[in-house]
Amino acid sequence: MTWSLKMRFALAAAGVAMTMACGGGEKTPPPATTATTPAAAAGGTSVAVAAGDFGVPECDSYMQKYVSCIESKVPEAGRAMLKQGLDQTKAAWKQAAATPAGKAGLAQACTQAAAAAKQAMGAYGCAW
């Protein structure tokens, strides 16, 4: 795994930590409807992940769980920052998954990211 990819993982983890430190751990009920976020309504970046998006099961699973957590459990005020960090992670993982060596490294990286997210996102009541 390249240094740049490791840095992106670190930044994503820092984003999660900052959100939790800034009150992201407050639990609020999920919205009654599945309304489109303002960014998606305005044609912004979407973090929806299809099965097999990376071709690495550990990464596909991580993304699906993380997106579900953000959309159903994270208060609206914290969603934008988490989605931005997730978009950056997704872009880095897609780039890494473009090569066989990158895919091999992603399996371990995504397993570690999932373990960290399980603990961090547990504050929102997300099941991992």
Residue ranges of the domains in the chain? Answer: 1-10+51-123
Q: What is the pTM of this model?
A: 0.62
Render each residue's pLDDT in the chain as its tens digit; 128 residues. 554 545 455 445 544 433 333 444 444 333 333 333 333 333 344 455 544 589 999 999 999 999 999 999 999 999 999 999 999 999 999 999 999 999 999 999 999 999 999 999 999 999 87
d(CA 58, CA 74): 22
Beta-carbon contacts of 8 under 8 Å, excluding residues fewer than 6 positions away, are: 88, 89, 92
Nearest in space to 59 (alpha carbons), one of 108, 99, 12, 16: 108
Q: Are 69 and 76 in contact (CB under 8 A)?
A: no
At position 33, the amino acid (one-letter code) is: T
